[in-house]
Chain A
Amino acid sequence: MSPGLFNDWIVIFLMMTGFYTLITRGNLIKKLIGLGVFQVSVFMLYISMGKVEGGTAPILTEGVVHYSNPLPHVLILTAIVVGIATLAVGLALTVRIQEAYGTIEEDEIRELGGIE
């Protein structure tokens, strides 16, 4: 039990918060936000793995020896942009569901026979 794992634990807490929102809330927008929280927690996991004690941002400068690992940064950079793309598609689907069923609550949609 060393303090070196504090970041990981916060990440897990956030991940589980997002997960809980995702599985218990019926509102589709709330679900998407929960998914967003989950996503950010994964980003944090990657970025904290890339951190090196005493390192600095991976922009090459004279006189600096230690840099943080640039690879997770690249992966997460693209992941964030994919995240916003999927969020936009999800919201668009939600809007269409609202127009078709008049509600975005999952159970009400099910009552209306939306989900077989």
Chain B
Amino acid sequence: MKEPLRQHLILRMVSKFLIPYILLFALYVQFHGDYGPGGGFQAGVIFAAGIVLYALIFSLHRARRAFPDRAVELFISLGVLIYGGTGILCLLRGGRFLDYSVLSTHDPIHGQHLGILLVELGVGITVTAAMVAIFFAFADRGRA
């Protein structure tokens, strides 16, 4: 991990081509989880894998510039807060904790959809940020 794999032309070009698609696929998995296989956990891991690939092929330094420590740490807690906040919102609207049916005024099904979307988003954000933070922590040690 000390020497970035920058000098391998093929690796560089292929990953340059692939990384946007990996990230896009992660978003697809995130938001299509209601209808097909997928959800926050998978999307988070795939998104993090894209970032890790970027850090491995180009340098760790560049990856950390794109995803600064402070932002990553913020996102770890932001995801949990979104999840918890959804639960609290349900409480405020007169339902039970994480009972999404009350989120929509006209149709409980819509509330459920919204709730699942928000909750999965929270999970996805936390998983992505946590995996990236863990990877950065390991990679950082290697250079110290």
Contact = CB atoms under 8 A, between A and B. Distances in A.
The answer to A–B direct touch (Cβ < 8 A) is yes
Interface of A: 57, 59, 77-78, 80-81, 84-85, 88, 91-92, 95
A59 B134 CA distance: 33
A59 B37 contact: yes
A84 B131 CA distance: 9
Contacts of B36: 59
B127 interface: yes
Contacts of A92: 134, 137-138
B141 A95 contact: yes
Interface of B: 35-37, 39, 41, 45, 127, 130-131, 134, 137-138, 141
Contacts of A84: 45, 131
Chain B interface helix/strand/loop/mixed? helix
Contacts of B35: 59
B41 A77 contact: yes
B141 A88 contact: no
A59 B34 CA distance: 9
Contacts of B134: 88, 92
Nearest to A81: B41
A91 B134 CA distance: 10
B37 A57 contact: yes
Given A81-B41, A84-B45, A95-B141, 18 more contacts: A57-B37, A59-B35, A59-B36, A59-B37, A77-B39, A77-B41, A78-B41, A80-B41, A81-B45, A81-B127, A84-B131, A85-B130, A88-B134, A91-B138, A92-B134, A92-B137, A92-B138, A95-B138
